[in-house]
Structure 1
């Protein structure tokens, strides 16, 4: 447990160094919210959740890329891949909760006749999914620019794709539309159940992907060269 907490502390320190990026990421969900605040209150809630997902996924992408050079040294110090993955996820989930709380309070004050408990569930699932999603992108796409562009594409598709289409369920934040519909439009609990299942499945699957990718990467020894036997 101490190794996980130490890894989390290192990740938080690395994220805190990017102060300008943190400010931009913190304001990004507000821009999403205000873009629909004037004419579509329900859409503003859905958009702020997508903004949170994009912001935390970007922070996770940066954290994963920044941690790659120090991971081999931590491994030599006795840290396993599970310590590194869980510690980094713990740090990102903490950042996500801290980022989500002010926006949840904003909705409490600014919105009426919605199911606030369901909105809290949307935000919790958004934080749960966004952290491993960003780390998974950093594992697959080592360059931050490429990962950021993929995030832009995913969020754009999430906004434009018909949520009723089967293909839309392959997007990581589809659950936010389902649970958001339940919270805002007061639909039946089927929307809530489908959203919960989708969010939990994506959280587990993305976390497993990050763990596998970390295990494979940290077992490599690129500095070793095997000489052919004579």
Structure 2
């Protein structure tokens, strides 16, 4: 537990250094929300959640990429892969809660006759999914620019694709549409069940991908060469 907390603290400090980026990420969901607030209540809630997802995924991507340089020293100091992964996820979840709480209050005060519990569920799942998604990109892709472009493509497709299409359902933030529909339109429990199931499955798949990709990457040591004994 101590090692996990140390990694979490390091991740928070690294993100805190990027103050300008954090400010931009904090304001990004607000722009998403205001763009649809006027006459599209359901879309405004869904868009603010997508904005949160984009912001938190970007923060996770930066945190994972910045930690690459120090990972070998941590591993040599006795930190296992589980410590590194759990610590970064814990830090990102904490940042995600702090970032999403003001937006939940905004919706709570600005919107009426909606199911606030479902909106809280959307934001909670968005925090969980975004942390794993951003970390997965940081492990799989070697550069931040590549990860940022993938994030842009995924969020853009999530906004443009018909939510009823199968292609939209495989994207990580599809659950936000189902839960937002349940919250705003007061539909039946099927939307709630599908949204929760999709969100939990997305968290599980992406977290497993982080663990597998991290272990594969850590298993490579191209700078080490074994010489035969003569």
TM-score range, shorter chain: over 0.9
State yes or no: 1:227 paired with 2:227. yes
**What TM-score comes out, normalization by structure 2 length?**
0.98
**What TM-score comes out, normalization by structure 1 length?**
0.98
Q: Which residue of 1 aligns with 2:215?
A: 215
Q: Which residue of 2 aligns with 1:164?
A: 164
Map 1:49-128; keep pairs closer than 5 Å: 49-128=49-128
Q: Which residue of 2 aligns with 1:193?
A: 193
Moved over 4 A (4+): none
Deviation at 1:151, TM superposition (A): 0.5
Q: SS at the partner of 1:164?
A: coil
Q: Which residue of 1 aligns with 2:147?
A: 147
**Distance in 1 between the 2:42 and 2:28 partners?**
18
Q: SS at the partner of 1:74?
A: helix
Which deviates more, 219-228 or 9-18? Answer: 219-228
**Distance in 2 between the 1:96 and 1:44 partners?**
19
Give the root-mean-square deviation of aligned CA atoms: 1.0
**Distance in 2 between the 1:86 and 1:121 partners?**
22
Deviation per CA, 1:130-162, whole angstroms, max 9, x where unpaired? Answer: 001000011111111111111011001000111
Gap regions ≥5 residues in structure 1: none
| Count, aligned residues | 230
Deviation per CA, 1:52-100, whole angstroms, max 9, x where unpaired? Answer: 0000000000000000110110001110000000000000010001000
State yes or no: 1:47 paired with 2:47. yes
